[in-house]
Amino acid sequence: MTSQEEQITRIRVTYAKGPSLRFIGHLDLQRLWERLLRRSGLPIRYSQGFNPRARLNLASALPLGVVSEAELLDFWLDEAVPVGAVAKTLSQNSLPGLEIKAVQSVSLREKALQEQMAASDYEIQFYDPQPQAELAEKVAALLAAKELPRVRRKKSYDLRPLILDVEVFIRGDGELGLRMRLNAAPSATGRPDEVLEALGFSNTEYLACRTGLILEGESAPLPS
Amino acid sequence: MPSSPSTSLSSKSEALFRRVERILPTVTKPGRYVGGELNQVVKPWESVQTHVALVFPDIYDLGQSNLGIALLYDILNAQEGVAAERAFSPWLDMETALRENDIPLYSLENKRALADFDILGISLPYETLYTNFLTILNLAHLPLRSADRDDSHPLIVAGGQSVFNPEPVAPFVDAFVIGEGEEAILDVVQAHQAWRQSGGSREALLAALAAIPGVYVPSLYEVAYQADGTVASVTPSHPNAALPVQKRITAKLPPPLTHFLVPNVEVVQERVSVEIMRGCTRGCRFCHAGMVNRPIRERPLDEILATLKAGLDQTGYEEVSLLSLSSSDYSQIIPLINGLRDLLQERQVNITLPSLRIESFTEDLMDELQSLSPGGGFTLAPEAGTERLRAVINKPISDEEFMATVRSVYQHGWNSIKLYFMIGHPQETLEDVAAIAELCKAVLNEGRRIVGGRARVHAGISTFIPKPHTPFQWVGFDSLESIQQKLDILHQGLHGAKVKMTWNNPESSLLESWLARGDRRLSDVILRAWQKGARFDAWSDQFNLSHWQDAFAEVGLDPDFYSHRARGLDEMLPWDHIQAGVKKSFLKTDYLWSLQGKIRSDCRGRCYSCGILSAYNELRLVAPDGGWKCP
């Protein structure tokens, strides 16, 4: 290992994607991050080749329309910079709706973030108030189902094993919402809109928020 | 003001956007409709006196790339008491969703209905946006015709390159800014503010606007026609209405952008752009931009480089671009390229340098360009296939000179050359067209000799459209049959040769030829075509000629009158009351020269009295350092 390679640092950012960015898709978000990193002036590690690009790694694509309080992203620096300074310059150069919540340095040897993904937690806020008994009944029926055959991009699959948990809860504003934990392993990712559709809701009836990403080996109770 | 004291304004926009949010998951690319970008300017609604919505009548992806809108946004938002917000055309699915849910078109910043604004500033850089402009007014729930709007409606102001002939859209617009808008827009806002304070009628506002230099208020002019359909007279009906209306220019190039907005969704141009020069002295006879943007004014080198650096810092973009009609004519081009090279090494960015002129190439310039190691192809625009026809259109490049440039391009490391040509020029013969194919093949052969099998040639063929305020404003547009025959000749001529050829749909060019030289009566055809469903006419997959043909028939106007008919040199043209700086007598002489194949050289060396200096000399005197390149 040369001394230069010893300096390489892997940085993990936890960030929120707010309502003003909820209709910005995954590829666009990736470009916004590349620009944010360029603006930050940090010694970003670039890919080699004709068109060098910042090397970055987003944990899990957030479905269009969903906001998030806890997205994860890794990028690499060519030289060590104190994480406090990284957090500061990222916040200063960020864009509206993208809030830097935590910055840490992680081992270079960790697997890619996408490969570490285990599950995602979501909270659902309905635009119109929902009657409790009916909602609870729908959720109970969903969880009781042995299988939930569905079609995504012309491929049949079973939604049921992708649902780890769903529960009805009372939100701060007194209205009913849903909390759910969905599988997010690389080959088996559940999407909140598919669960909501299985419950009989179209994507124009609610706002979904991702509240947490769970990496493999982590165990966290569904927040309450 | 059209707001009642009982509803708070911010809750009004929240209520609107709450309804919008419900339809967004159902449309494609919803990120176009939400704003919220880095460097967007959102002023609290109640905190400003005058609200201006800047509207580009095509989708966000195109409009947000438009530097003109960005400049006006910057200029207006720098003013206290003024807020500029943005709106673009919704794509067809969003238009349907807005209609079905009865949601008015709104601004991206405060999410306010466009009808709540004081002024809508409509950008019309090309004619094929006219139907989208009507869609915008309609989705804003505004009457389409100026005559049907009153004090409760926003003032509709339009500007941009196509309004040098404002007549086809005159009935829909309250006031046009003819020429450069950077200073005029502030005068318009000021007149609006004074009118609000005085509490006068809408007529009083229009009269006040007409008194501003460069502002044309079409309702204050009566147009009469001859029996043959040509214009008989244009008569002002108000003392403030100037005749002619002289275009507005700024004494020196206005300051470059200070705030670069960074779109969240992908748009067509994602780079830091700076205008290095405005105007062109070459005098190509087909070129609208070259005639109406005179005089030529250059931006100082240090200002260009400082702007690019600031832009890169603010945006994090990976690319910069220099804008002008003829970059290689910039007098400091070599120092500029040196500066760009430093920037490139420092920041790992790419550079695009469009509009290089064959005539202004030197070996030095090629050496410098090579040092930028640009990827991709090299673009040259001979525009015609023979020396004879290039003399007619006043783009005098000898075949020898052209091939020398081609050789130099390949020798300096480029493998791919893109060539722009037009067909349908006045006095064009089929031999001139066949020569285009021969020239392309000669270029490819030269490339193969120098770089071998990697050599590529791409021919981009467009159709000549006679434009107002040019020496060719009198000539007829080629017939569709003739254009098709010429395209066939090119296909045959290039058959088997490894030259890639792309071309414009001749029917789209036909539409442009109607709209470019239309009169006020043509507005009925535009309205009728729009009612029939004409939308996004600039999009080849949306354009539908039959809407337009039917509209002409129903309105009772002859389309050929506008397109194919050659105008008499003594005819009164529908845009004669608009003065673009270059005199009609100069254009006429230049047209007569074209008939003799007589060349008018670049006027940086000698002045041909086109009319600019006599009309704007005072302006030049107040800004002696304005970078004018008139002799």
pLDDT in tens, B96-141: 999 999 999 999 999 999 999 999 999 999 999 999 999 999 999 9
Say what the pLDDT of residue B375 is: 58
What does the pLDDT average to over B334-355?
83
What does the pLDDT average to over B488-507?
95
In this structure, the answer to whether residues A73 and A153 fall within a common structural domain is no
Nearest-by-Cβ selection for B34 from A23, A38, A46: A23
Number of domains in chain A: 2
Write the DSSP string, B482-536: HHHHHHHHHHHHTTTS-EEEEE--HHHHHHHHHHHT--TTHHHHHHHHHHTT---
Mutate to test the interface with A, among B20, B38, B259 (most CBs of A within 10 A): B38
Is B26 within 8 Å of A204 when comparing Cβ atoms? yes
Is B25 within 8 Å of A21 when comparing Cβ atoms? no
Which among B16, B3, B193, B185 has a CA at the least distance from the CA of B108? B16
CB atoms within 10 A of CB B282: 21
Lowest mean pLDDT among A205-209, B364-368, B388-392: B364-368
**Residue B26 at interface with chain A, using a CB cutoff of 8 Å:** yes
Which of A72, A89, A110 represents a domain boundary (last residue)?
Answer: A110
- Which residues on B lie below 8 Å from A38 (Cβ)? 312, 316-318
In this structure, the answer to whether residues A71 and A145 fall within a common structural domain is no
Tokens encoding B366: 């090629």
Query: Strands A67-77 and A206-215: what pairing?
Result: parallel
- Cβ pairs A/B, distance under 8 A: 66
What does the pLDDT average to over B565-578?
98
**Residue A26 at interface with chain B, using a CB cutoff of 8 Å:** no
A209 located within any domain: yes
What does the pLDDT average to over B272-279?
95
Say what the pLDDT of residue B143 is: 98
Label residue A145 exposed, middle or buried (CB < 10 Å: 0-12, 13-18, 19+): middle
A222 located within any domain: no
What does the pLDDT average to over B308-326?
92
In this structure, the answer to whether residues A106 and A7 fall within a common structural domain is yes
- Which residues on B lie below 8 Å from A23 (Cβ)? 24, 30-31, 33-34
Nearest-by-Cβ selection for B38 from A95, A203, A204: A95
Locate tokens 């525009």: which residue?
Answer: B383
Mutate to test the interface with B, among A39, A51, A201, A209 (most CBs of B within 10 A): A39
A58-77 residues touching B, CB cutoff 8 A? 64-65
Helix-strand-coil percent breakdown of chain A, rounded to 5? 25, 35, 35
- Which residues on B lie below 8 Å from A204 (Cβ)? 22-23, 25-26
In this structure, the answer to whether residues A28 and A92 fall within a common structural domain is yes
Write the DSSP string, A175-206: -EEEEEEEEEETTEE--HHHHHHHTT--TTSE
**pLDDT over 60 at B5, yes or no:** no
Nearest CA of chain A to the CA of B316: how many Å? 4
List, in order, residues 6 or more apart from B45 with CB less than 8 Å away. B9, B10, B13, B51, B83, B110, B112
Is A95 within 8 Å of B262 when comparing Cβ atoms? yes
CB atoms within 10 A of CB A110: 13
**pLDDT over 70 at B415, yes or no:** yes
Lowest mean pLDDT among A128-132, B122-126, B383-387: A128-132
In this structure, the answer to whether residues A125 and A74 fall within a common structural domain is no
Decide: helix, strand or coil at residue B318: coil
Which of A73, A91, A110 represents a domain boundary (last residue)?
Answer: A110
In this structure, the answer to whether residues A39 and A84 fall within a common structural domain is yes
In this structure, the answer to whether residues A136 and A180 fall within a common structural domain is yes
Is A39 within 8 Å of B30 when comparing Cβ atoms? no
Which of A93, A110, A127 represents a domain boundary (last residue)?
Answer: A110
Per cent of chain B over pLDDT 70 is 98
**Residue A47 at interface with chain B, using a CB cutoff of 8 Å:** no
Is A37 within 8 Å of B313 when comparing Cβ atoms? no
Which among A112, A101, A96, A113 has a CA at the least distance from the CA of A214? A113
What does the pLDDT average to over A30-59?
89
Class of domain B376-521+557-580: alpha beta
For B628, phi and psi rounded to 5 degrees? -70, 135
Given phi > 0 = left and psi -120 to 50 = alpha, else beta, which region is B472? alpha
Mutate to test the interface with A, among B39, B264, B267, B317 (most CBs of A within 10 A): B264
pLDDT in tens, B210-227: 999 999 999 999 999 999
**Residue B262 at interface with chain A, using a CB cutoff of 8 Å:** yes
In this structure, the answer to whether residues A143 and A179 fall within a common structural domain is yes
Mutate to test the interface with B, among A34, A37, A38 (most CBs of B within 10 A): A38
In this structure, the answer to whether residues A106 and A173 fall within a common structural domain is no
What does the pLDDT average to over B376-396?
94
- What per-residue string of b and e applies to A174-188 under the rule 16 or more CB within 10 Å gives b? eebbbbbbbbbeeee
Write down the domain spans for chain B.
9-246, 271-373+601-631, 376-521+557-580
In this structure, the answer to whether residues A149 and A86 fall within a common structural domain is no
CA atoms within 13 A on the CB side of A100: 24
Q: How confident is the model at residue A4 (pLDDT cuts 50, 70, 90)?
A: low
Which among B84, B94, B97, B18 has a CA at the least distance from the CA of B61? B94
Nearest-by-Cβ selection for B316 from A39, A97, A127: A39
What does the pLDDT average to over A161-183?
95
Q: Does domain B271-373+601-631 match CATH 3.30.750.210?
A: yes
What does the pLDDT average to over B193-203?
95
In this structure, the answer to whether residues A119 and A205 fall within a common structural domain is yes
Nearest-by-Cβ selection for A65 from B25, B40, B315: B25
Which residues partner with A12 through β-bridges? A74, A104
Is A25 within 8 Å of B33 when comparing Cβ atoms? no
**pLDDT over 70 at B160, yes or no:** yes
ipTM: 0.91
**pLDDT over 60 at A144, yes or no:** yes
Tokens encoding B548: 């337009």
**Residue B237 at interface with chain A, using a CB cutoff of 8 Å:** no
Cβ pair A40, A90 in contact under 8 A: yes
- Which residues on B lie below 8 Å from A39 (Cβ)? 313-316
Q: Does domain B9-246 match CATH 3.10.20.30?
A: no
Nearest-by-Cβ selection for B317 from A27, A35, A50: A35
A13 located within any domain: yes
Nearest CA of chain A to the CA of B32: how many Å? 9
Say what the pLDDT of residue B7 is: 36
In this structure, the answer to whether residues A71 and A138 fall within a common structural domain is no
**Residue B264 at interface with chain A, using a CB cutoff of 8 Å:** yes
Say what the pLDDT of residue A63 is: 93
- Which residues on B lie below 8 Å from A207 (Cβ)? 21
Domains B9-246 and B271-373+601-631 share a fold: no
Query: Strands A56-58 and A163-170: what pairing?
Result: unpaired
A155 located within any domain: yes
Nearest CA of chain B to the CA of A38: how many Å? 5
Which among A184, A142, A178, A137 has a CA at the least distance from the CA of A162? A184
Q: Which residue of A has its CA nearest to B316?
A: A35
Cβ pair A10, A108 in contact under 8 A: yes
Nearest-by-Cβ selection for B265 from A28, A38, A127: A28
Query: Strands B50-56 and B215-216: what pairing?
Result: unpaired
Q: How confident is the model at residue B8 (pLDDT cuts 50, 70, 90)?
A: very low
A196 located within any domain: yes
CA angle B541–B543–B548, rounded 5-degree value: 165
B357-376 residues touching A, CB cutoff 8 A? 375
Mutate to test the interface with A, among B318, B344, B346, B347 (most CBs of A within 10 A): B318
What does the pLDDT average to over B301-326?
93
**Residue A48 at interface with chain B, using a CB cutoff of 8 Å:** no
Is B31 within 8 Å of A23 when comparing Cβ atoms? yes
CATH number at residue A121: 3.30.70.100
Nearest-by-Cβ selection for B264 from A24, A65, A93: A24
**Residue B34 at interface with chain A, using a CB cutoff of 8 Å:** yes
CATH number at residue A95: 3.30.70.580
Is B24 within 8 Å of A65 when comparing Cβ atoms? yes
Domain span at residue A88? 3-110
**Residue B265 at interface with chain A, using a CB cutoff of 8 Å:** yes
- Which residues on A lie below 8 Å from B312 (Cβ)? 38
Nearest CA of chain B to the CA of A203: how many Å? 6
Decide: helix, strand or coil at residue B621: helix
A5-24 residues touching B, CB cutoff 8 A? 20-21, 23-24
